[in-house]
Amino acid sequence: MGKPQYITLNFIMYAKVIVDIAHSRVDRIFEYSCPDSLAAGSRVKVPFGGRTVDGFVIGVSRASSYPAEKLRPVSAVFDEAPAILPECLELTGLISRRYRVPQAAALRLFLPSEMRQGKVHEAYKKFAVFVTDEIKLPASAKKQSAALGYLKEVGECELAPLCEKFGRGAINSLSDKGAVEIQARKITRNPFGGLSGGGEKKTLTPAQLSALESIESSDKQIHLIHGVTGSGKTEIYLNVIDGQLRRGKTAIFLVPEISLTPQMLSQLRSRFGGAAAILHSGLSAGERFDEWWRLRSGEAKIAIGARSAVFAPLENIGAIIIDEEHDSSYISESAPRYSTFEIAEMRARYNGAKLVLGSATPSVETYVRAKDGELGLITLTERINGNPMPEIIISDMRKEVRRGNNTGFSLALREELDKTLSDGNQAIIYLNRRGYSRTVLCRDCGYVAKCENCDVTLTYHSEDNCLKCHYCGAKYRMLTACPDCGGRHVLYNGTGTQRVVADLKSLFPSARILRMDNDTVSGKDGHYKILKKFAERQADILVGTQMIAKGHDFPSVTLVGILDADMSLHFSDYRSGERTFQLITQVAGRSGRAGDKGKVVLQTYSPENYILRYAASYDYNGFFGNEIALRKATGFPPYSLICRVMVTSEDGDAALQTLKSVFFAVEDLRKAAPGEFIFLNKMHSPIKKIQGKIRYQVLMRLQSKAMLEKIYDIAVANSSGDCLVYVEENPVNLS
């Protein structure tokens, strides 16, 4: 496997090949002659123009549309078994049509990238195996005879230590005489090999049992588990997987962030042993390759990883789990811009598998589908141990500023921290820094500048010293004073983690503090190391950004401080309310997970905001009712589709020309179907230039998906070598 095998055989079959060049010009089937042993899904080398390129066989047939003498033969075949499964070949077509990417780009999703470039191969170890001792050895060959005697006893052993003991010459002679066979065997690198624990099977609670039962017995394919943090969702997932493995099936388990994976993996490892394989970008190339082949060969049956693990090479899938389904990392932000849910649904449908989504704070779009009865809805309202949810105290930061407290820590938070530390417990301090942009917020009264047309928060752009709406492009003059109270502290960009750590050190000199953010985390298990340290109580306070928000189970944490709950409220994004609710609930869920009662201090400049109120009382239904009514009234998803056609080029004129051409084409669509368009305009993107590329966009809000395919058509037709044009649906980030 891995290295291409060159072939010379009778050419009696025809291979349909997609060359591994992701370009629309070569995005079609090329035919080659091939041996009849070649199967669809194989990776091959083929002559292409004057060179040889890699390709994927997507089908073989006995007949060709070309005369046989015109076809050139496949030059070489990679791998013992086809790398791409029949199901995945079918998905390739669906993905390529759905997201308008070349088939080669869709096929690449199904392979670890290092494997494509031929950079990694499996690791081998050599073994010596006893064959026979019925050979004639000269009396002087003492070492040979001792080695043979030893091997006869043990049967086989690794070559290296054997050579060390008896000498390489002796072993080679034995091998030459046929008494010993040297075999190269594949060995598997084992990522996170040291992890285990936490996977003991538990007796399910009645709520967990009934959840499991409704997933298994319902004829619905997709289920949403809406369960408060600590309600035992993970145990339900594990039981769903267990049930499928018993039926001889396989499973995919998706988690949002790499930092969560080791913890989840250790549970899966101790529960399922080697049947669990991990797929993620943090692994070394060799590890990834080995884990991938363990799945492909059927040795491993559970794939666990972030969104790309949805492409795992598994056959006969019985269950796909998507944990923390609300997480934005499930939408790919680079081409192909796929939605993990759509791929998971395709695979669930193909395999007749169960698709289970879980969250304490389901996304509004998923929850609507569950309420409409399209998905099975399972609700878990209690924590496993019956512990209450931690109490959330709202700190009004406007008062603190007025009181002259400029430390960034409210009095309430300082008191609670003090108490937590003197009780010997741990605390987490969370900074809300996701997709962070600068906002005009009055620190005296909490006023926030919003777009008059769109009701979303404006973002400050220093290059033009103005405020912009990211949904309609409207510009507003920068404010120097608050229009409501006249206060002069109006631009807000929060404090960084470093500053927070320094402040904490001066407030609590004896506390041991750990920091976790992009600057302190490096390497494939950087997250894991910091979290492990904290879990082992080598620190009292953990300070961090969204990386620490979810998933982790720290029994000694009894206090969570959320320093700037507002930050995400004021994103220039229609989802900002939803994101804020989710973040607060997730972070708060880290407190008081074991016996001790937890507390949360939530610092805000807008304490009366309804999102914060619902979050503080754990009222998802209240939040949802309000949010969905707002979305309906303002015409945002799920009651519309936000669609952005991006035009980027290093050449500003080319970009502008293409932008116009895209816009006029979309304008024509609108003239033909005016009811489909709620909003349409062309503009610079909020960030005008990234890595030397000028960025323009045509932004629209559509009534439905009816026009979507035509908009993709326009993007594909206008994309060229020097100007990239692509479509984003409900983009997570409008910058």
CA distances from 67 to 16, 72, 604 (A): 14, 11, 74
Interaction mask 551-590, ligand ADP, x per CB under 6 A: --x-------------------------------------
513 contributes a contact to Zn ion by CB under 5 A: no
List binders of ligand ADP among 536-555 (CB under 6 A).
553
Residues 6+ apart with CB under 8 A from 668: none
Give the shortest CB-664-to-ligand ADP separation in angstroms: 50
User: What would the two tokens of residue 551 be?
Assistant: 């998933």
208's contact among Zn ion, ligand ADP, none, with CB below 5 to 8 A by partner kind, is ligand ADP
Secondary structure letter of residue 483 according to DSSP = T
Binding flags for ligand ADP, 235-264, as an x/- string (CB under 6 A): x-----------------------------
**Binding segment toward Zn ion, per CB under 5 A, in 200-208, 384-392, 465-473, 527-535:** 465-473
Q: Which helix (H) or strand (E) holds 491?
A: strand 491-492
Three-state SS across 211-245? Answer: HHHHHHHCCCCEEEEEECCCCCHHHHHHHHHHHHH
Q: Which is nearer to ligand ADP, 320 or 702 (CB)?
A: 320
Instruction: Round to whole Å and give the CA distance between 695 and 463.
Output: 15
Of 469 and 504, CB closest to Zn ion? 469
- Report, in Å, the least distance between residue 247 CB and ligand ADP: 22
* Interface with ligand ADP in residues 371-410 (CB under 6 A): 384
In the complex with ligand ADP, the residue whose CB is nearer, 114 or 553, is: 553
- Say if residues 426 and 554 touch (Cβ distance below 8 Å): yes
The structure tokens listed for 242 are: 């267990």
Among 55, 102, 191, 232, binds ligand ADP (CB under 6 A): 232
Helices 168-176 and 159-166 pack at an angle, to 10 degrees, of: 110
Residue 330 C-beta: closest distance to Zn ion, Å: 27
Binding at 205: pick from ligand ADP, Zn ion, none (beta carbon under 5-8 Å per type): ligand ADP
User: Cβ 356 to ligand ADP, closest distance in Å?
Assistant: 12
Q: How far is the CB of 237 from ligand ADP (least distance, A)?
A: 8
Give bridge partners of residue 410 from the DSSP assignment.
Answer: none
- Region near Zn ion per CB under 5 A, out of 168-176, 298-306, 326-334, 461-469: 461-469
Task: Compare residues 360 and 454 and give the one whose CB is closer to Zn ion.
Answer: 454
Q: Which is nearer to ligand ADP, 203 or 422 (CB)?
A: 203
453 binds, among ligand ADP, Zn ion, none (CB under 5 to 8 A by kind): Zn ion
Phi, psi of 454 (to 5 degrees): -115, -10
**Cβ of residue 562: shortest distance to ligand ADP, in angstroms?**
18
Which of Zn ion, ligand ADP, none is residue 451 near (CB under 5 to 8 Å by kind)? Answer: Zn ion
Mask for 81-120, x = binds Zn ion (CB under 5 A): ----------------------------------------
Cβ at position 548, least distance to ligand ADP in Å: 15
Q: x/- site string to ligand ADP, residues 431 to 460, per CB under 6 A? A: ------------------------------
DSSP state for residue 455 in the 8-state scheme: -
Instruction: Among 82, 230, 256, 318, indicate the residue that binds ligand ADP (CB under 6 A).
Output: 230
Residue with the shortest CB distance to ligand ADP:
234
Q: Alpha carbon of 298 to those of 9, 249, 277, 725: distances in Å?
A: 29, 10, 11, 40
Q: Of 11-19, 232-240, 246-254, 565-573, which segment contacts ligand ADP by CB under 6 A?
A: 232-240
For helices 708-718 and 652-672, angle between their N-to-C axes, nearest 10 degrees: 150
What is the sign, positive or negative, of the torsion defined by CA atoms of 43, 44, 46, 51?
A: positive
Ranges within 656-715 binding Zn ion (CB under 5 A): none
- Closer by beta carbon to ligand ADP, 108 or else 233: 233
The partner in contact with residue 262, picked from Zn ion, ligand ADP, none with C-beta cut-offs of 5 to 8 angstroms by kind, is none
List phi, psi (to 5°) of 292: -60, -45
Q: How far is the CB of 608 from ligand ADP (least distance, A)?
A: 30
Stretch (H or E) spanning 440 = strand 439-440
Contact between 151 and 131 (Cβ < 8 Å): no
472 binds, among ligand ADP, Zn ion, none (CB under 5 to 8 A by kind): Zn ion
Radius of gyration for the chain, computed over Cα atoms and rounded to the nearest angstrom: 30
| CB-CB neighbours of 413 under 10 Å | 26
List CB contacts of 725: < 8 A, sequence separation 6 or more: 645, 646, 647, 658, 662, 715, 716, 718, 719
Give least dist CB 572 to Zn ion, A.
9
379 vs 681, beta carbon nearer ligand ADP: 379
Q: What are the helix (H) ranges across 218-363?
A: 233-246, 261-272, 285-296, 340-351
| Binder among 304, 322, 451, 694 for Zn ion (CB under 5 A) | 451
| Size of the residue set binding ligand ADP (CB under 6 A) | 15
Q: Find the helix packing angle between 206-217 and 233-246, rounded to 10°.
A: 40
Which span sits near ligand ADP by CB under 6 A: 95-103, 231-239, 428-436, 444-452? 231-239
Q: Residue 149, exposed/middle/buried by CB under 10 A (0-12, 13-18, 19+)?
A: exposed
Map the footprint of Zn ion across residues 468-507, applying CB under 5 A.
469, 471-472, 474
Q: Please report how close the Cβ of residue 249 comes to ligand ADP at its closest, in angstroms.
A: 22
Alpha-carbon distance of 531 to 518, in angstroms, equals: 14
Which whole-number Å values give the CA distances from 230 to 295, 376, 592, in the listed order? 31, 21, 10
CB atoms within 10 A of CB 178: 11
For residues 393 and 474, which CB has a smaller minimum distance to Zn ion in the complex? 474
How many residues are listed for the chain in this entry? 735
- Is the Cβ of residue 208 or residue 244 nearer to ligand ADP in the bound state? 208
Choices 92-100, 105-113, 186-194, 226-234; region in contact with ligand ADP by CB under 6 A: 226-234
Rounded CA-CA distance 401/403 in Å is: 5
| Shortest Å, Cβ 528 to ligand ADP | 17
Between 634 and 719, name the residue whose CB sits nearer to Zn ion.
Answer: 634
Tell how strand 557-562 and strand 599-604 pair up. parallel
Cβ of residue 358: shortest distance to ligand ADP, in angstroms?
7
CB closer to Zn ion out of 14 and 471: 471
Return d(Cα 558, Cα 595) in angstroms, integer. Answer: 10
* Look-up of token digits 């600590």: 230
Instruction: Give the containing element (helix H, strand E) for 499.
Output: helix 497-507
DSSP summary character for residue 424: T
Partner touching 229 among ligand ADP, Zn ion, none, CB below 5 to 8 Å by kind: ligand ADP
Contact map string, positions 195 to 214, toward ligand ADP, x by CB under 6 A: -------xxxx--x------
561 binds, among Zn ion, ligand ADP, none (CB under 5 to 8 A by kind): none
Rounded CA-CA distance 709/641 in Å is: 13
Residue 204 binding: pick among ligand ADP, Zn ion, none (C-beta 5-8 Å cut-off by kind): ligand ADP
732, two tokens: 């997570």
Question: Would you tell me which residues interact with Zn ion (CB under 5 A)?
Answer: 451, 453-454, 469, 471-472, 474
| Binding site residues, ligand ADP, CB under 6 A | 202-205, 208, 227, 229-235, 384, 553
